[in-house]
C-alpha cells in the first residue's frame, strides 16, 4: 500500500481535486482483480472485468427498417410488380424472384436479390394485387445493412465499464447470457459517536438517531458493494479496538464522524495503533475533515459525521474511489453549467456544494445549507458547485451535479 499523502502546508486546505487525485491513486494501487461470472440480468451496477468482444455482426443480416415492399430497384420501370412472397420478422425468406417484389415487415430479413425497401405508405396495391410505387426510389433505402451496428471482433464494451440497463441490453443483443464482472467490493461501515442510537429506540437526552449508517449502507448497495454494517462505535478506546479486530477481511473501512477538531478521536487512535491515518483538511463545504489511511493493510476512509457532509464527501470522493478500485475510468459525475438563480455575495475559502434544484433552468438552493441538515438533500435535485473565492450574481454560471449522477 502506498503511503498516504500529506496535506499541504499547515493551515492550508487541500483542494478537492488534489484529494480526489490522491484517493484515485490509492485506489489504482489497490485494484480488486477477483472476478465472478454472472447472468447478464444480475450485472446491474457491476463492473465488466474483460472487454466484451462481439462474436456476431449486428444486425446479423440485412433487414427492413419499414413495413413495405422489398424489390430489386432495376426491376422497377413504372410497370406494376407482382408480390411473390410475404416476409415477417423471424422468417427466412427465399431469394426474390426477378420482376417481382416482396411484402416485408419491420425487422424481417431482406431477401437475396432485393436492394431496396419502399414503405407501404408510398405503395399502391392495385385490384389485381400488383404494386406500384408513387415516389422515386434509391438503392439500399430502408435497409439496415448487416453489421451496421457492430461487426464480429469489435470491442463493444471495454473492461472497466459499469453495467446498467443499457449495457445489459447491449450484451443481450450480442447473445451474451453471462458476463465476467469484478467481485463486489466489501465495505465495512462504521458510525462513531456516543450520541448516536438506532431508529426504533426511544431518544434519550443528548441523543440523535444514526442517519449516516442507513444512508451509506443503502448507497453502497446501489453501487454494487457488499456492505458489512459494523454498527455504532462508542467513544471508547477498548471497545473501538475490539470492534476493529472483529471486522475481518474487507476491502475498505468507511467510517463517519469522530474527525471534528478537538474531539476525542478514539477511532483514529485505534486505527493508528495498527496502521497509518492522515487527516486531510479539505477545501470543501460541507465537509472539510477527512481521514485516509490503512489499518492492518485495509484501506480506511473516514468521512465527516454531519449527514450533509457525509453525503457530499461520499459522492465526490469515496464513490469515485470505490469505482476506481474496480477499474472504472469514468468515475467523476457529469457537471452541467447552469445560470444561478441566487446571489452569492461572500466568497469562501472552500468549494461549496450547495443542495439545490433547477427551477426554470436556473439553480436555486435550499434555504438551510447547514451541514447537519439532510433535508436539504432530500429537497434537492443536485449539488450546486460554487468555487472557492468566487461570488455570484443572478444568471452567473455555476456547476450543477445532478444527484442522480452520483447516487447510482
Q: What is the contact surface with ligand AMP in residues (CB under 6 A)?
A: 191-193, 195-196, 208, 210-213, 256-260, 263, 304-307, 372
Cell representation of residue 101? 417484389
Under the binding rule (CB under 5 A), the answer on residue 257 touching Mg ion is: yes
Q: Residue 86 in contact with residue 60, Cβ under 8 Å?
A: no
Closer by beta carbon to ligand AMP, 64 or else 211: 211
Q: Which residue is nearest to ligand AMP (CB)?
A: 305
Closer by beta carbon to Mg ion, 193 or else 341: 193
Q: In this structure, what are the phi and psi dihedrals at residue 186, rounded to the nearest 5 degrees? A: -95, 120
Q: Which stretch binds Mg ion (CB under 5 A): 48-56, 191-199, 343-351, 359-367?
A: 191-199
Q: With CB cut-offs between 5 and 8 Å by kind, which of Mg ion, ligand AMP, none does residue 150 bind?
A: none
Size of the site for Mg ion (CB under 5 A): 3
* Residue that has been written with the C-alpha cell 430497384 in this structure: 73
Closer by beta carbon to ligand AMP, 307 or else 333: 307
CB of 14 to Mg ion, least distance (A): 22
CB of 207 to Mg ion, least distance (A): 12
Q: What is the distance in angstroms between the CA of the first residue and the CA of the last residue of the chain?
A: 28
Distances (CA, A) of 190 to 50, 227, 230, 294: 33, 11, 5, 15
Cell representation of residue 39? 447472468
Q: With CB cut-offs between 5 and 8 Å by kind, which of Mg ion, ligand AMP, none does residue 54 bind?
A: none
Residue 224: CA count within 13 A, CB half-sphere: 22
CB of 258 to Mg ion, least distance (A): 5
Q: Which residue is nearest to Mg ion (CB)?
A: 193
DSSP-derived letter for residue 95 is P
Closer by beta carbon to ligand AMP, 27 or else 270: 270
Under the binding rule (CB under 5 A), the answer on residue 289 touching Mg ion is: no
Environment class of residue 35 by beta-carbon count within 10 Å: exposed (0-12), middle (13-18) or buried (19+)?
middle
Q: With CB cut-offs between 5 and 8 Å by kind, which of ligand AMP, Mg ion, none does residue 329 bind?
A: none
Environment class of residue 78 by beta-carbon count within 10 Å: exposed (0-12), middle (13-18) or buried (19+)?
exposed
DSSP-derived letter for residue 74 is G
Closer by beta carbon to ligand AMP, 63 or else 192: 192
Q: Residue 290 in contact with residue 259, Cβ under 8 Å?
A: yes
Under the binding rule (CB under 5 A), the answer on residue 193 touching Mg ion is: yes
Which residues sit at the interface with Mg ion, rule CB under 5 A?
A: 193, 257-258
Amino acid at each position: 500500500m502506498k503511503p498516504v499523502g500529506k496535506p499541504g502546508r499547515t493551515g492550508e486546505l487541500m483542494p478537492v481535486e488534489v484529494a480526489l487525485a490522491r484517493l484515485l491513486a490509492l485506489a489504482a494501487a489497490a485494484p480488486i482483480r477477483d472476478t465472478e461470472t454472472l447472468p447478464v440480468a444480475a450485472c446491474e451496477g457491476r463492473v465488466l472485468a474483460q472487454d466484451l468482444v462481439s462474436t456476431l455482426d449486428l444486425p446479423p443480416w440485412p433487414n427492413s427498417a419499414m413495413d413495405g415492399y422489398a424489390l430489386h430497384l432495376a426491376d422497377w420501370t413504372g410497370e406494376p410488380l407482382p408480390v411473390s412472397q410475404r416476409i415477417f420478422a423471424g422468417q427466412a425468406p427465399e431469394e426474390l424472384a426477378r420482376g417481382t417484389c416482396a411484402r416485408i415487415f419491420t425487422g424481417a430479413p431482406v431477401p437475396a436479390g432485393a436492394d431496396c425497401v419502399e414503405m407501404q405508405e408510398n405503395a399502391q396495391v392495385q385490384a389485381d394485387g400488383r404494386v406500384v410505387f408513387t415516389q422515386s426510389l434509391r438503392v439500399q433505402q430502408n435497409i439496415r445493412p448487416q453489421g451496421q451496428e457492430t461487426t464480429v471482433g469489435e470491442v463493444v464494451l471495454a473492461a472497466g465499464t459499469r453495467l446498467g440497463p443499457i449495457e445489459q441490453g447491449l450484451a443481450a443483443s450480442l447473445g451474451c447470457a453471462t458476463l465476467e464482472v469484478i467481485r463486489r467490493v466489501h465495505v465495512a461501515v462504521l458510525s462513531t459517536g456516543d450520541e448516536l442510537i438506532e431508529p426504533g429506540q426511544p431518544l434519550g437526552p443528548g441523543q440523535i438517531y444514526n442517519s449516516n449508517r442507513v444512508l451509506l449502507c443503502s448507497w453502497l448497495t446501489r453501487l454494487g458493494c457488499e456492505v458489512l454494517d459494523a454498527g455504532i462505535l462508542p467513544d471508547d478506546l477498548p471497545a473501538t479496538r475490539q470492534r476493529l479486530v472483529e471486522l475481518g477481511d474487507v476491502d475498505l473501512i468507511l467510517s463517519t464522524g469522530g474527525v471534528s477538531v478537538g474531539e476525542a478521536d478514539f477511532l483514529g487512535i485505534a486505527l493508528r495503533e495498527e496502521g497509518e491515518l492522515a487527516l486531510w483538511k479539505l477545501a470543501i463545504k460541507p465537509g472539510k475533515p477527512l481521514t485516509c489511511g490503512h489499518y492492518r493493510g485495509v484501506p480506511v476512509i473516514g468521512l465527516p459525521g454531519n449527514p450533509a457532509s457525509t453525503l457530499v464527501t461520499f459522492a465526490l470522493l469515496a464513490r469515485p474511489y470505490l469505482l476506481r478500485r474496480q477499474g472504472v475510468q469514468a468515475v467523476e459525475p457529469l457537471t452541467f453549467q447552469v445560470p444561478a438563480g441566487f446571489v452569492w455575495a461572500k466568497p469562501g475559502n472552500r468549494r461549496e456544494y450547495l443542495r439545490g434544484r433547477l427551477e426554470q433552468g436556473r439553480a436555486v438552493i435550499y434555504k438551510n445549507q447547514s451541514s447537519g441538515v439532510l433535508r436539504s438533500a432530500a429537497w434537492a435535485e443536485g449539488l450546486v458547485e460554487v468555487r472557492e473565492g468566487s461570488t455570484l450574481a443572478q444568471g452567473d454560471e455555476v456547476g450543477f451535479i445532478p444527484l442522480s449522477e452520483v447516487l447510482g
